[in-house]
Structure 1
Amino acid sequence: MLPSFTFHVPFSKSIISSLIIHASPKPPFPNLSPIRFACHFSPKPSMSSSSSSTPTHVEAEYAKSGNSSCKKCSEPIENRALRLGTKDGRGYTKWHHLGCFSFGSESVASVELIHGFQALESSDQEALKVEFEKSKEEDSAVKKSSQNRRVREGDEAEVENLGEKVLKKSKGSSSAPTHVEAEYAKSGRSSCKKCSKPIENKALRLGLVTKDPRGFDSTKWHHLGCFSFGSDSVASVDKIKGFQSLKSSDQEALKNLAVEFEKCKKEDSNGEKNSQKQKVCEVDEDINEVGERGLKKAEVSDLAISFSASDVKDKYKDATLPPKWKAFQTIIFLERDDGLHDSSKIAAFDFDGCLANTDVRRVGADAWSFMYPSIPDKLRSLYEDGYKLVIFTNETNIERWKNKRQAAVDSKIGRLNNFIKEVKVPIQVFIACGPSQGEDPFRKPKPGMWHILKQHLNSGISIDMDQSFYVGDAAGRRNDHSDADLKFAEANGLKFYVPEDYFGV
């Protein structure tokens, strides 16, 4: 038998089962037998087949520090908070909040197979199971049509163009109707089609449901305050799909918003169509944009801000708030201080540099002192005269200190709580946390905080503007850091005083 050697050689284009190479008929070594060479060529494994057979590694654990950030929302993940992650090809783990993680990969067959699941507390295991099932249901729904897939992947340009075409078609034909739907968000992954910001899990959202030319439903979700009822498809708010399943407070908020639009339609039908009036009536328009277009004070004061119980939180992002303190969008407010009475007369004040002497280099609840000795007596006198005392203050550190947000919240609220305790009178407080650079509607000099007070947190009592006033130190003078307080008073039609004049210094 001839001796043979077999070589296995990878070959990516084709498979050659065997190649026989025989020795020369006149071997140079006559004493040796001829040699047979067999070369077997095997196909080179493709990258796709290799990767598809390797399941995605999902890991669950409690964060070892507060230094990691969620790859979905970019917000910090608190120390000891439950986080989920997947490893990339380099072995780097991409961490997510529980509510931000997507189980779209079919490699996760069961939640019990997630690495670290058994080490979690029972309550977190249950929460993880709920999110797992919810994500699977949503991903299953996405696969039903390519249109739904584009909507959930955020292909807004295509959806907007398609939606406009459907709306135009629906106006001229009844074959492509639209309807409005109300529900509480099933996750935190949807985004508002008006402001592009995320819609929080469990938050009330409104959607305009249209059908594309192929008959598939397409829903554009909005925050309550961002939704426009301008479409003739809403005959009555009670007819909105899902309305009856909402909380009574949210039903009322929805009705109020619809009423505002109805007023606008009536005003337009009476011929009041000047551009300034139209901008005021469009309640879903950003307050900042309205203010910058030069509306008169009286017109600005009529602007409505959507404010419902479901939008009020006990936390500001990842920072926990003390009792009685609440968060709404980018403001924190003291909801109801003991003994506080709503009134038609409002005495409003700035805090830092007006009521309290503070220093940006010092942090802590006790890092303040009275700006003027007469402040306690003056505030008590106003309270006894039937005034409602209110503080409007900006605090950018709460937004900027992402890794130390809790410390910034504790410092600011701690100072305000201690101030109220020292003056011994109840005060309502609003803190604007938005950044100094941007279009936040609540940060002074924007009028957003005043509107929340006037429209939603004064028991419906009409404010007497002749008796109400605002005191602040940022008046645009040579040594002032800005003119935000002066402009805030002007935007809301309030009489304005600087603190040294008002407190008799």
Structure 2
Amino acid sequence: MAPTKVVAEYAKSGRSTCKGCGKAISSGSLRVGSSGKGAGGFDMTKWYHLDCFPTKSNPIGSVEDIKGVASLKKADKEVLRRLEAGASSSEDKKRDCGSCSPSNDSQMKKLKVTADTKDGEVEFSDSAIKDNYKDATLTPNWKNFRTVIFNVKGDGLHDSAKIAAFDFDGCLARTNVRITGANAWSLMYPSIPKKLQGLYNDGYKLVIFTNESNIERWKNKRQVAVDSKIGRLENFIKRVEVPIQVFIACGIGDLFRKPSIGMWALLKEHFNSGVAIDMNQSFYVGDAAGREKDHSDADIEFAKAIGLKFYVPEDYFDVK
């Protein structure tokens, strides 16, 4: 585990679990977390009740060192002083007892993978990351978390407060659902490579959020569906010559499939190194805007649910 930082906030829902005692952390209550990189290189935050937080492995010199403390109530800031170095030995023993230690195997088995699409909170552990999607093997540098396939952060992909997010099919690439193959696509608009390169050079992190239910539906041809989708995305990234973070929602009507915001929650909580996203500068581009010719309104509703500025590709890529 990489060096961690301590964060405090009010629980966004009642679905997170204390990594010390294994019990639920109630919605709205004060929780304290240790945030850092997991073994797989992903951003991980382990949440605890105040009295379960392991100060021995996460020493705190001052409450002011805790991320998020400025947004807490004055009374809760004072309560957090129990975590400061020099707290009474009886409190240290309570917090650092064996049953509350994050290294206790019996407690680690109780860790839950949860998501709340209302507040965008998603928690996961390294053990939930897999190299396959059900019976389909993923190519190197691609992983699976529940019903999402994503690419591992590669060279040049920088985290940023500015997010430029895009749909894939019908937005960046022209594809046909009836035709498979890594090469069965073409650029949607000629201006796309230059536009994406400009965003990258301006400090934006480029992200693709794409639905692909065929990976779930094609039970007898799932490997074909996986190879086709990943192959197209990899070839697209090579064509535009900029690094892009990709999330593929494979489920049907679940919390990760657009317009639900599960994929955005993953980016925000675990794939941006804790960098706060500037919603005023970030945006999303997609073709499913609920217009008469559109197949759905999933993209515009996805952007609305998150609070992102939204553009249709014809406008964003200056199609005349």
Q: CA deviation at 1:286?
A: 5.2
Contact 1:398-1:405 within 8 A present in 2 as well: yes
For 1:398-417, list aligned pairs within 5 A.
398-417=215-234
Partner of 1:306 in structure 2?
A: 123
Greater CA radius of gyration, 1 or 2?
1
Kept in 2, the 8 Å contact 1:347–1:470? The answer is: yes
Question: Which digits, 9 at most, give the CA deviation of each residue in 1:108-153, with x for residues without a partner?
Answer: xxxxxxxxxxxxxxxxxxxxxxxxxxxxxxxxxxxxxxxxxxxxxx
| 1:326 aligned residue | 143
Aligned residue identity for 1:256: W
Is residue 115–residue 122 contact of structure 2 (8 Å, CA) maintained in 1?
no
1:348-368 CA distance string (max 9 Å, x none): 000000000000110010000
Aligned to 1:335: 152
Paired residue for 2:284? 470
CA contact (8 A) 1:346 1:469 kept: yes
Partner SS for 1:496: strand
2:47 to 250, 256, 272: 256
Match of 1:112? none
The aligned counterpart of 2:302 is 488
CA distance in 2, matches of 1:375, 1:402: 34
Conserved 8 A contact 2:143-2:151: yes
What is the CA-CA distance between 1:404 and the residue it aligns to?
A: 1.2
Match of 2:25 in 1: 229
TM-score by length of 1: 0.44
Q: Secondary structure at the match of 2:198?
A: helix
How far does residue 314 in structure 1 lie from its aligned partner after superposition? Answer: 1.2
Structure 1 segments, 4+ long, off by >3 Å, are 204-208, 252-255, 283-286
Kept in 1, the 8 Å contact 2:183–2:235? The answer is yes
Over the residues paired in the alignment, what is the CA RMSD in angstroms?
Answer: 3.5
Deviation at 1:248, TM superposition (A): 8.1
Q: Secondary structure at the match of 1:467?
A: coil
Partner amino acid, structure 1, of 2:296: S
The number of aligned residues is 243
Contact 1:349–1:472 (Cα < 8 Å) also in 2: yes
Greater RCO, 1 or 2 (C-alpha within 8 Å, sep 6+): 2
Distance 1:382 1:248 in 2: 30
Confirm or deny that 1:344 pairs with 2:140.
no
Mapped partners of 2:286, 2:115: distance in 1 = 25
1:206 deviates by: 8.2
- Give the percent of matched residue pairs that are identical in Structure 1 and Structure 2: 63
| Cα shift readout 1:441-486 (whole Å, capped 9, x = no counterpart) | 1100001101111111111111111110000000001111110000
Q: Relative to 1, partners in 2 of residues 1:342 and 1:206: Cα closer, same or farther, differing over 3 Å?
A: closer
Contact 2:175 2:184 in 1 (8 A): yes
Contact 2:18 2:49 survives alignment (8 Å): no
C-alpha separation between the residues in 2 aligned to 1:465 and 1:402? 39
Letter paired with 2:310: F
List aligned pairs for 1:439-478, cutoff 5 A. 440-478=254-292
Runs of 5+ unmatched residues, structure 2 = 1-14, 54-67, 77-111
Per-residue Cα deviation, 1:368-421 (whole angstroms, up to 9, x for no partner): 000001001111111111111000000001111112111110000000000001
Q: Say which SS state the counterpart of residue 402 (structure 1) adopts.
A: coil
Alignment partners' CA distance in 2, 1:360 and 1:497:
23
For 1:429 and 1:332, the matched residues in 2 are separated by 8
* Residues 257 and 306, structure 1, Cα contact 8 Å, conserved in 2: no
Structure 1 residues 284 and 459, CA gap change in structure 2 (3 angstroms): closer
Q: What whole-Å deviation, never above 9, does each CA across 1:27-83 have from its counterpart, x for those lacking one?
A: xxxxxxxxxxxxxxxxxxxxxxxxxxxxxxxxxxxxxxxxxxxxxxxxxxxxxxxxx
Matched residue SS, 1:501: helix
C-alpha contact (below 8 Å) 1:327/1:333 kept by paired residues: yes
Deviation at residue 495 of structure 1 after TM alignment: 0.4
Q: 2:180 and 2:132 mapped to 1: Cα distance?
A: 21
Q: What is the distance in 1 between the residues matched to 2:173 and 2:154?
A: 19
Gaps of 5+ in 1: 1-193, 195-203, 209-223, 238-246, 271-282, 291-299
SS in 2 for 1:403: coil
CA distance in 2, matches of 1:366, 1:205: 46
TM-score of the superposed pair, with normalisation by structure 2: 0.68
**Change over 3 Å in CA distance of 1:488–1:465 after alignment to 2:** same
Q: Helix, strand or coil: the match of 1:255?
A: strand
Aligned partners of 1:254, 1:388: CA distance in 2, in Å? 21
CA distance in 2, matches of 1:483, 1:457: 26
Q: Which residue of 1 aligns with 2:185?
A: 368
Which aligned pairs between 1:116-127 and structure 2 lie closer than 5 A?
none
Counterpart mapping for 1:258-277 below 5 A: 258=49
Cα distance, 1:229 vs structure 2? 3.3
Q: Which amino acid aligns with 2:47?
A: N
In structure 1, C-alpha distance between the alignment counterparts of 2:49 and 2:233, rounded to whole Å: 37
- Within 1, Cα distance between the matches of 2:207 and 2:168? 10
